[in-house]
């Protein structure tokens, strides 16, 4: 039996937006991410998923403010790092090195007037200033190969790449410094279903190959059940249910989780029920 070892722990985290009136976006959230696992974070738009992700990685900007709680990173070397207490150069060195992030709509986050190579090199220039140009080029080619992109695309501009390729480049950049945790915020948004499946398979393969842990954020609970080891369901800034993927699928406890699961139509559902519902809606519109 494999040993469960935490890599990231959050306890009683609260985040609010200091507007008038204040908005409590995340309320007393606690969760643990274990080394090498995929933790799915599910919930509707506006429930606080992305705000929590930014808080875990210390990326919050005003008016967002973490008002309570602790976040601890358990490094593979045995050190426990208080993420909330990091400041200045220590915080800059921590981000992207220990925890990286693939942002929502990441495929549109690439600078349109700079080549892929220049944007990957920027990560090394910031975090590995002593790295030679030859070493940076070799590592950049290795990263693109890793995510299934032709290394010759290093000289391409983002507009010369498909949406799926741009997303893969963003994943390559997130992997550049061999992080132990990757936070992925809706990484398949705006991609067609075929490309979505390719990206998901790539993430699963890379996780198996490299051993990093993933917090995967999406509103698509059925997809999380398929790919995640554990799932946390979020509603109105709070985690209302946590469990293994099988537990969430077979025996959901919270009413909101049940509604999320039932909101996706079954491929084997009764066609007659759907037709009658559609007819009823049409009749109501006529009236």
pLDDT tens, residue by residue, 130-145: 999 999 999 999 999 9
Does 244 score more than 90 pLDDT? yes
Distance between start and end Cα atoms, the chain: 63
Phi, psi of 270 (to 5 degrees): -75, 115
The C-alpha torsion from 105 through 111 and 114 to 116, rounded to 10°, is: -20
Residue-wise DSSP of 70-123 = EEEEE-TTS-EEESTT--HHHHHHHBTTTEEEE-TTGGG-S-TTS-HHHHHHHH
Cα(219)–Cα(256) distance, integer angstroms: 12
3-state secondary structure 162-201: CHHHHHHHHHHHHCCCCCCEEEEECCCCCCCHHHHHHHHH
> If we measure between CA atoms, which residue out of 83, 85, 25 comes closest to residue 51?
25
CATH class for the domain made up of 6-98+180-286: alpha beta
Does 285 score more than 60 pLDDT? no
Task: Let me know: does 271 contact 279? Beta carbons within 8 Å.
Answer: no
Task: Let me know: does 71 contact 10? Beta carbons within 8 Å.
Answer: yes
Does 21 score more than 60 pLDDT? yes
Task: Let me know: does 102 contact 170? Beta carbons within 8 Å.
Answer: yes
Residue-wise DSSP of 190-241 = TS-HHHHHHHHHHHHHHHHHH--EEEEEES-HHHHHHH-SEEEEEETTEEEE
Instruction: Report, as an integer, the average pLDDT of 251-262.
Output: 91
pLDDT tens, residue by residue, 231-241: 999 999 999 99
Token output for 226: 């398929």
Buried b (16+ CB within 10 A) or exposed e, 55-74: bbbbebeeebebeebebbbb
The pLDDT, as a whole number, for residue 34 is 97
pLDDT tens, residue by residue, 80-89: 999 999 999 9
Domain boundaries, the chain: 6-98+180-286, 109-178
The pLDDT, as a whole number, for residue 275 is 36
Task: Let me know: does 184 contact 33? Beta carbons within 8 Å.
Answer: no
The pLDDT, as a whole number, for residue 284 is 39
């Amino acid at each position: 039996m494999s040993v469960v070892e935490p890599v990231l722990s959050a306890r009683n985290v609260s985040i609010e937006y200091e507007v008038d009136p204040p908005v409590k976006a995340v309320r007393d959230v606690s969760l643990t991410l274990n080394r090498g696992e995929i933790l799915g974070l599910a919930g509707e738009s506006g429930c606080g998923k992305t705000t929590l992700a930014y808080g875990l990685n210390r990326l919050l900007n005003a008016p967002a403010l973490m008002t309570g709680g602790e976040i601890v990173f358990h490094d593979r070397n045995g050190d426990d790092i208080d993420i909330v207490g990091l400041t200045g150069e220590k915080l800059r060195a921590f981000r992207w090195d220990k925890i990286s992030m693939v942002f929502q709509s990441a495929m549109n986050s690439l600078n349109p007037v700079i080549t892929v190579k220049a944007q990957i090199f920027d990560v090394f220039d910031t975090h590995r200033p002593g790295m030679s140009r030859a070493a940076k080029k070799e590592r950049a080619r290795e990263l693109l190969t890793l995510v299934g992109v032709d290394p010759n695309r290093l000289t391409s501009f983002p507009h010369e790449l498909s949406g799926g390729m741009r997303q893969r480049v963003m994943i390559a950049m997130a992997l550049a410094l061999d992080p132990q945790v990757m936070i992925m915020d809706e990484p398949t948004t705006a991609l067609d279903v075929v490309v979505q499946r390719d990206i998901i398979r790539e993430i699963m393969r890379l996780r198996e190959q490299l051993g990093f842990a993933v917090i995967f954020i999406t509103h698509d609970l059925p997809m999380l059940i398929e790919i995640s080891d554990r799932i946390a369901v979020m509603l109105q800034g709070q985690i209302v249910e946590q469990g293994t993927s099988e537990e969430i699928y077979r025996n959901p406890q919270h009413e909101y989780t049940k509604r999320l699961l039932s909101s996706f139509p079954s491929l084997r559902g009764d066609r007659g029920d759907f037709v009658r519902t559609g007819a009823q809606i049409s009749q109501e519109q006529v009236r």
